[in-house]
Amino acid sequence: MTPTDFIPYGRQFISDDDIAAVVSTLKSDYLTQGPKVSDFEQAIANKVDSKYAVAANSATSALHLACLALGVGENDRVWTSPNTFIASANCARYCGASVDFVDIDPRTYNLCPMKLADKLALAQTNNTLPKVVIPVHFAGQPCDMQAIDALAKQYGFSVIEDASHAIGAKYQNKPVGDGRFSDICIFSFHPVKIITSAEGGMAVTNDKQLADHMRTHASQGTTKSLDELTQNPGDWYYEQHTLGFNYRMTELQAALGLSQLSRLEDFIAKRHKQFEYYQVLLKDLPITLPFQQEKTHSSLHLFPILLPKTHKQARKAVFDNLRQNGIGTQVHYIPVHTQPYYQNLGFAEGDFPVAEDYYQRTLSLPLFADLTQSQQVKVVNALKQALVDCGMMEL
């Protein structure tokens, strides 16, 4: 097998226009802190109907900036989903806050709003309410934001949407990121995500104060804004007002991201076609296909299938079998609370049983913009063979 025969679970789709955009930026005056980053910010804000957008060098940085802007600190609690990438929880730890999780809905694999309601009621009696809740739009399917927003108003917490998977997704026919049901929403442009800037992330919000706070903290805590300076001795002058970071996006990243953004709808349409074709190819297999919630239009970042409950022990064998046959299946996600770092903070296996059961049975099949139908057939044939080899079906 040559490396090109290998079908990964996800990958970037770079066009000649993308390459030209990056090369022309390389030849321009600015590699950082030039016009492309603000163009990209404006384009994302327009695309998702938000007032402000702040670029960062990763979604992880953007999540950290969002927590800081919402005032998360040492005595605070932040809740998120256990079925996510570790960054959704780590951002709260960077601020010294404690992290807790809310188990997932067994159909959508997203944070379950009913379990959130129960946990909040209990936390209120114990005086342990969270300052921020971070729902994650897993696989690109929006969470039940209306329910989460109602709870946010009832219990007085802020909401950061981790939409790392979900740029271009819609909730109740409106773009994820429009801020109707959250304070800040975060996108990732890592190469496996829907569009890429190599590394990169963006925080969008409708609140100017939050946007300014994030922008200042992404750039060493400094400002050059005339209405903020305590004096103005000349054009060289800037002031540091707080302790920030260097979380800035480069011009090269922004040029790539901007060029990719022009094909966002096309990428998502392609993923939906592939999704439909998988439905056809996989219809007689003894697996659970991804459920699509009404009133949501997923960006379809991932295609997670579930093996039958009776065969969870066979997941490793199916995974290895597929990998040996050139199918780059992956597992999304190892429940965050079972990571040794989080176990050292007091979590244990068994704490969030729905996420754990899901984890033991899941495999993500390849899904990316330029995946071909013949590659999909190859994936499904390999999967069938693996299920036969592992005693889950007969041919």
Ligand X SMILES: *Cc1c(COP(=O)(O)O)cnc(C)c1O
- Of the CA atoms within 13 Å of residue 316, those in its CB half-sphere come to 1
Of the candidates 59, 132, 268, 355, which one interacts with ligand X according to CB under 6 A? 59
Considering only CA atoms, which of 219, 254, 224, 227 is closest in space to residue 236? 224
Of the candidates 201, 304, 326, 335, which one interacts with ligand X according to CB under 6 A? 201
Report the nearest approach of ligand X to the CB of residue 141 (Å): 12
**Binding range to ligand X, per CB under 6 A, among 81-89, 123-131, 252-260, 269-277:** 81-89
Looking at the Cβ atoms of 139 and 314, the one nearer to ligand X is 139
Of the candidates 60, 110, 182, 250, which one interacts with ligand X according to CB under 6 A? 60
Looking at the Cβ atoms of 87 and 355, the one nearer to ligand X is 87
Q: How do beta strands 327-328 and 174-175 pair?
A: unpaired
Considering only CA atoms, which of 327, 375, 323, 326 is closest in space to residue 2? 326
**162 touches ligand X by CB under 6 A:** yes
Which residue(s) pair with 184 in the sheet? 160
Contacts of 117 (CB under 8 A, 6+ apart): 147, 151
* Element containing residue 252 per DSSP (H, E): helix 251-261
State whether residue 62 is helix, strand or coil: helix
State whether residue 79 is helix, strand or coil: strand
Of the candidates 36, 190, 215, 297, which one interacts with ligand X according to CB under 6 A? 190
CB of 143 within 8 A of CB of 135?
A: yes
- Looking at residues 83 to 102 of the shown chain, list those that interact with ligand X (rule: CB under 6 A): 84-85, 87-88
Report the nearest approach of ligand X to the CB of residue 191 (Å): 9
**197 touches ligand X by CB under 6 A:** no
How many CB atoms neighbour CB 365 within 10 A?
Answer: 27
State whether residue 211 is helix, strand or coil: helix
Q: How many residues bind ligand X (CB under 6 A)?
A: 14
Report the nearest approach of ligand X to the CB of residue 60 (Å): 3
Report the nearest approach of ligand X to the CB of residue 124 (Å): 28
Looking at the Cβ atoms of 76 and 162, the one nearer to ligand X is 162
Task: Return the structure tokens found at 244.
Answer: 């920030």
CB of 322 within 8 A of CB of 383?
A: yes
**Binding range to ligand X, per CB under 6 A, among 162-170, 215-223, 279-287, 348-356:** 162-170
Is-catalytic flag, 378? no
**Binding range to ligand X, per CB under 6 A, among 12-20, 52-60, 208-216, 269-277:** 52-60
Contacts of 269 (CB under 8 A, 6+ apart): none
Candidate list 119, 131, 193, 270, residue with the active-site label: 193
Looking at the Cβ atoms of 55 and 211, the one nearer to ligand X is 55
**36 touches ligand X by CB under 6 A:** no
Of the candidates 188, 250, 296, 338, which one interacts with ligand X according to CB under 6 A? 188
How many CB atoms neighbour CB 5 within 10 A?
Answer: 10
Peptide bond into 238 cis (omega under 30): no
**58 touches ligand X by CB under 6 A:** yes
Alpha-carbon Rg for the chain, nearest whole angstrom, is 22
- Looking at residues 1 to 20 of the shown chain, list those that interact with ligand X (rule: CB under 6 A): none
- Looking at residues 129 to 158 of the shown chain, list those that interact with ligand X (rule: CB under 6 A): 136
Report the nearest approach of ligand X to the CB of residue 188 (Å): 4
CB of 92 within 8 A of CB of 157?
A: no
Peptide bond into 333 cis (omega under 30): yes
State whether residue 116 is helix, strand or coil: helix
**304 touches ligand X by CB under 6 A:** no
Report the nearest approach of ligand X to the CB of residue 161 (Å): 10
- List of residues contacting ligand X (CB under 6 A): 58-60, 84-85, 87-88, 136, 162, 164-165, 188, 190, 201
Instruction: Point out the residues that are catalytic.
Output: 193
